[in-house]
Amino acid sequence: MNTRTSERIERAAKAAVEAALWAPSIHNTQPWSFGVCGDEICLRADPERKLRISDPAGRQQTIGCGAALFNVRVTLRALGYEPEVRRFPDPERPLLLATVRVRPGREPGEHVRLLNAEIDRRRTHRSGFTALPVPDPLIDALEAEVAAEGGRLAPIRTDASARVLAALTAAAQEVQSQDRLFVLELTRWARPPGSSRRDGVPAAGYPADPRRTHPQHFAQRDYARGHEWGLAQDERVSASTGLVALLTTAGDLREDWLRAGEALQRMLLHASAYGVSVAFHTQALEMPELREFIRTHLCSGEHPQMIMRLGFVIDESESMRRAPSDVLE
């Protein structure tokens, strides 16, 4: 490989890492670190950024890292390269989640460009949706995106099942808000207005006074904890629950979690390209008994990885990321 080619590849690898940072992660912990060495990108889980109380096995951390991995893949494709991915390449180094070799590729297709354009535009939503339903053909397309990554997107079609999920979310939220360790962990990642930190959930990332949504209400995490933080919200147009959906996987190993993250991000980018935003409510999946209940009663025995609501919004929330130099080793 001549010097100009290798310089170009290294530039593409760095661009892919910059894009990776815009992946969603639990409480915006950004629980990853990257290395770029020649034509290879390494993705590692950062053990300091794992949530020891709510995510002791690192399941949610790995999902976030999987989403980051998907951003790497799409960015490289959009730049005309072929990502050669090895997941968990070294059993002796469990924190090394994946390596991606930057190989020569071809001109990106329309779909890759479409997904790539959404990477830094997509935002997590934390309140109700407008009454506009997500069109069925779009739901089918989102299901296909998740299936292409080996997962399953299961829209909840009955009111009764959506009510059960909402009730479990409320129960988990209530239990966690009474648990000192859960509260302390959340506090560590909730940022007050004006904070200069580039990680955690900013005060402009959620409504000050989340309204109840209809027909079901899904409890939000309490990032403000009694402070007057958060954005004013136009309640008239954002009171719908939206489409409730689960993302599930057949297995429940670390590989499945990483793949679930890739599937999640692929679906989120596709949704974002068509104006659909997504809210997450994963509290119940942090409580093993409730997660098991959801698995057996609502997921046909598959393992629930994410609980979400999808819909159209008029307001955008804010988010932020650390600088690439903070995550590049």
Ligand X SMILES: Cc1cc2nc3c(=O)[nH]c(=O)nc-3n(C[C@H](O)[C@H](O)[C@H](O)COP(=O)(O)O)c2cc1C
Contact call for residue 249 and ligand X (CB under 6 A)? no
d(CA 145, CA 173): 30
Q: How many CB atoms lie within 10 A of CB 38?
A: 12
Per DSSP, the residues of 106-119 read -PPPHHHHHHHTTT
Per DSSP, the residues of 85-110 read EEES--TT-TTEEEEEEEEE--PPPH
Beta carbon nearer to ligand X, 116 or 283: 283
- With residue 278 as reference, give the H or E element that holds it: strand 276-280
Give least dist CB 105 to ligand X, A: 27
Q: How many CB atoms lie within 10 A of CB 328?
A: 14
Residue listed under structure tokens 């059993």:
91
Cβ–Cβ under 8 Å, residues 134 and 262: no
Residues in region 148-207 near ligand X by CB under 6 A: 201
Beta carbon nearer to ligand X, 39 or 262: 262
Contact call for residue 75 and ligand X (CB under 6 A)? no
Give least dist CB 183 to ligand X, A: 15
Give least dist CB 55 to ligand X, A: 8
Q: Which residue is nearest to ligand X (CB)?
A: 24
Give least dist CB 279 to ligand X, A: 7
Residues in region 303-322 near ligand X by CB under 6 A: 319
Identified binder of ligand X from the candidate list 282, 287, 294, 298, rule CB under 6 A: 282
Contact call for residue 124 and ligand X (CB under 6 A)? yes
Give least dist CB 298 to ligand X, A: 17
d(CA 159, CA 22): 33
Q: Where on the chain is the footprint of ligand X (CB under 6 A)?
A: 24-28, 60, 63-64, 123-124, 126, 201, 221, 280-283, 319
